[in-house]
Amino acid sequence: MKPKVLITRKIAEPIIEKIQEYADVDVWDQEDVQIPRDILENKISEIDGLFCLITESIDASLIDKAPNLKVISNMAVGYNNIDVDTATKKGIMVTNTPEVLTETTADLTFALLMATARRLVEASDFLRDGKWETWSPNLLTGQDIYGATIGIIGMGRIGEAVARRTKGFNMNLLYHNRSRKPDVEQELGTTYVSMETLLSESDFVVVITPYTAETKNLITAEQLKLMKKNAILINTARGGIVNEADLYEALVNGVIWGAGLDVFEKEPVPADHPLLTLPNVVTLPHIGSASIATRMKMAELAAENLILALKGEKPKHLVNKIDFS
């Protein structure tokens, strides 16, 4: 008998067909609607494999309802939506999709940095709203990127890819990370500094670190206060890393100059969220990895991880820190 798999969102048909070669597949096939929790709770009791997205909270109470579950395959590099400890205790493999989205997410990070510094969204709205009357010396002036100092918090794969992009802009590159990366320092001429130094010396502070208990609220009023008045904060990691209420206050009171946010503490962010009312904030709906090709690669890799795990083999990207053999 084939194992049973649930896919929590509509994905490309060829990928579903590939999984169907090994499993009986049930797809929550509404493209832009999240699977309701009660349906997920119901279905999880029957399945051997789960293909899910960051929108699903795979917590202990859900995992407890899944006696047959062998693998949770997340179509994302981040897996803070999954209780990995509980899964590990129950012998359930957890997998993710690193590498394939690195460059795409770094592209978006840099695009967001540029859009925020040069006020692209504000400028485009200004023009479309028929407000453009004349070229003017101080009209929509922003911050220079070329030659500025950038501080990257989190020098993982995506942090490194962002760092590489700064070279074309002749930027002075600082970084802070859990551990030093001598190879990266050598290759990219970046300097490891304390959080305090990074915050106080950077014109751009880019947050691209995983969301963990240690990085929750990593940036609060205390850290924002250390930043330059002309500084811009970019977050393409996870919302909870930056305290949103503190960021709002800092932006309103001119503690920092602007922010570019692709992620929010609660997603989707409510349309009346205070941060969305500020002209000096560029906001995006968590689209870091959203290129057509990359989303396809992520789905393919998540499927591959799932199938390998169901076959009893080692998935390409196992998150649990134990040996399942």
Q: What are the residues binding ligand DGY (CB under 6 A)?
A: 54, 76-78, 101, 288-289
Q: In whole angstroms, how close is the CB of 153 to ligand DGY at the nearest point?
A: 16
Q: In whole angstroms, how close is the CB of 34 to ligand DGY at the nearest point?
A: 15
Of the residues 17, 196, 214, 267, which is catalytic? 267
Per the annotation, the verdict on 286 as an active-site residue is yes
Let me know if 254 is exposed, middle or buried by CB neighbors in 10 A (0-12, 13-18, 19+). Answer: exposed
Distance CA 166, CA 161 (A): 9
> 75 vs 198, which CB is nearer to ligand DGY?
75
Q: In whole angstroms, how close is the CB of 298 to ligand DGY at the nearest point?
A: 7
Of the residues 119, 176, 286, 295, which is catalytic? 286
Give the alpha-carbon dihedral of 181, 183, 185, 187, to 10 degrees: -150
> 76 vs 113, which CB is nearer to ligand DGY?
76
Q: In whole angstroms, how close is the CB of 241 to ligand DGY at the nearest point?
A: 12
> 283 vs 289, which CB is nearer to ligand DGY?
289
Q: In whole angstroms, how close is the CB of 102 to ligand DGY at the nearest point?
A: 10
Do residues 56 and 38 lie in contact, with contact meaning Cβ atoms separated by under 8 Å? Answer: no
Q: What letter represents residue 275's amino acid?
A: L
Q: In whole angstroms, how close is the CB of 139 to ligand DGY at the nearest point?
A: 35
Per the annotation, the verdict on 176 as an active-site residue is no
Q: Which residues are catalytic?
A: 238, 267, 286
